[in-house]
Structure 1
Amino acid sequence: MTSVAVTGIAAIRERGRALFPGIVASVIVATAASFLSEHYDAPVMLFALLLGMTMNFLAADGPCRAGIEFTARQVLRIGVALLGLRFTFAQIAALGWEPVLIVVVSVVATILVSVAAARALGFQPLFGLLTGGATAICGASAALALSAALPSHPGKERATLFTVIGVSALSTIAMIAYPMVVQLLDLRPVDAGIFLGGTIHDVAQVVGAGYSLSQETGDTATVVKLMRIAMLLPVIVCAAMITRARGAAEGGERPPLLPWFAVAFVALAAVNSTGWVAPGLQQLGSDLSSWCLVAAISAIGMKTQLKEVTSVGFRPIALMIGETVFLAGLVLLLLRFAG
C-alpha cells in the first residue's frame, strides 16, 4: 500500500472519529423522537426539533459539535436526495403549471420588494437582495451562495451571518406555525404542499412541516421547494452581473449554482421514472431518507440559537419578518387565483 493511500485512510479515520459523537447524539435524539411519535401519534419532525433544542448545549464547542454540523448539513442533503426515489416525472408533471408559475412570481416579487424595503429602511439595496434571496429561495444555502457572488464590502460578513441566523430562526418558527395555518384555512393536501414548499425558507423545515401533515402534502412541498432552489441559478447570475458591473474583484471559491442534492434528487427521480428500480429498493431508499431527515432535524434543533437574532437590532429583524409575511401572503393569494 502506497504512502498516499495510507495517509488517506488515516485522514478518513481521523475525520470519522471527529464526527462520530455528534452523529450518534443526533441519531439518539431521532430515535427518541420516533419512539414518542409512534406512541403519542404526533409529528416525528416536531418531536425531533423540540428534543434537539433541549440538547442545545451539545452544539457548543465540544466533541459533538463537528458531528452535529455534519448531520445538519450533509445528512440532510443525503436525505433530500434520496427523496428522489419516491417520485417519477409523471407525478411531478401531474402538479400542473400552477406551482411553476407560483414559484417564479413569488421569488421575483419577494426579491424586488425586499430590495425596495431595504432601501426604505436605510440599508444598502444589496442587503435586501441577500435577505430577500434567502427568504424567497432556500434559506441559509441561498444566503451563502449570494454572499459569495455579491461585491465585497466591510459589513458583508455581518450581514451574511445575520441573514443565516435570521432565516434559520424564521424557518423554524414557520415549520411549527404554517401547518396550523394550513389547517385553519382547510387547504387541500396538494395546495397545502404548494403553500409550505413555496413559503418556508429551508429544505429541512419544508420537509418537517409537509410530512407532519401527510405523505401527499410532504411530497408536494418537497417538489415545490426544489423548484424554488432551481431559481437560485438565475438569481446568482444576476448577483454576479452586479459584481462585475461594479468592478469588484472576485475572491474565494464560489458555491455551485445548483446544490448537489437537488441534482441528485432529479437524477434519482429520472432513474425511478424508468420503472427499473425494484419496489424493495424504493422502500429502502424511502426509509433511509426518512431516518436521515429526522436525524438532520434533530441536529438543527441542537444548533438553534434564537436569542442571537435579537442582538442585531430591530430594523433588520423587521425587514426579514416583513419579507417572510409578504411571501406567505403572496403565495396564498396566488393559490386562490390559480385555484
Structure 2
Amino acid sequence: MLATPGRLPSAAQDRRWAYETKQDGQRVMVYLPGDGRVLLRARSGEDITAAYPELRPLGSVLGSTPAVLDGEVLALDERGRADFQLLQSRMGLAHAPARAARQAARVPVHLVLFDVPYLAEPLVRLSYVRRRARLEGLGLAGPHWSTPGAVTGHGAEALRATREHGLEGLVCKRLDSVYEPGVRSRAWIKIRNMRAEDVIVGGWLPGKGRLTGLPGAVLVGQRDADGRLRYVGGVGTGWSEAERVRLAELLRDAASDRCPFAPAPRVTGARWVAPRLVGEVRYSTRTRNGMLRQPSWLRLRPDLTPEESAAALPAEPGPGG
C-alpha cells in the first residue's frame, strides 16, 4: 500500500488520523512463513533477503506463526537519523552475499515495522487501528528491528516535530482505512519536509526531445567558507515552459568556456556560464558531502547578486546527511 502526496487533514478531521514519521529508506515486505525463514521483497518484487543478513534472525521471532509485515530498511548515521546515502552502500547486494556480509559489519541496517497485512490469516480488511494493535501486540523489538510508535490526532504538532528534528516528514493514516495492496491510496498521505535555499547557477545541460534548444537542467553551487563555488547538484524540474525559455536566454548571455566550480564536477555534456545568476531551489535533505537531494526550481532571484545572496554551504552536513 502506497501513500499519496498531500497535506495535513483538517483540524475537524484530525482525530480520525494516525501520524507516523516518514522514513528515508528502502520499503520492504517481510514474509515469515513460520519455519524460521525470512523473505524480504522490495517494492519491485525483487527478493533482497541476501542484501541484509542481519535481518535473518527475524524469521524465528514469531515461532510457527506465519506473517507478512510491512516496513522500511534504514541505515542510521551517528546521530541515529536515517541516512539514505549510507543505505545505498547496502542496496543492490542481493546477488553478492559475501560482499553484503562485509558491508553489514560496516554499515548495519535497522528495520522499522509499521503494518501487518497478514498474521496467521489475512488482515487486509481490518481497519488500520486494529492492524496497528495487532502489530504492537507482537512486541517486535530486536537488535536490528523495531516498531516505532504512532500518534492519533495532533497532526500539526507531529509535523512540526519532524521539522524541528530534521526528519524527512510525516505519513498520515486514516484510522478506519483497510490495507490496499499495490494501491496509492488517499487513506495514507505523505508529507515531505522541504527546505529552500539560494543557489548560484554555474552551468546547464541541454534538454532532449521537446526540450531541444532549452536547458534540461541547471548546475548549481554555493560558496564555501573560503569563497569557492562548490557544486551542489543539478536541478531539472520546477519551471513552466515560459520560465524555461527565459532561463535559456539568460544562460546564453552568460555563456563561458570556463567551469566556475571548484572542484569541477564530472558532468558529461555540461555547458558552463559565468556565475552571476542566483536562483532559489527547494530540496528534501543533503547528502553527507553537501549535495542537494530531490532539488526543484522555485524562482530566479534577480534582486540578488551572487555576492549578496545567502548562498553558502552549511558548516556541517545538513539534516539527513
Q: Normalised by the size of structure 1, how large is the TM-score?
A: 0.21
The structure richer in strand per residue is 2
The structure richer in helix per residue is 1
Larger Rg: 2
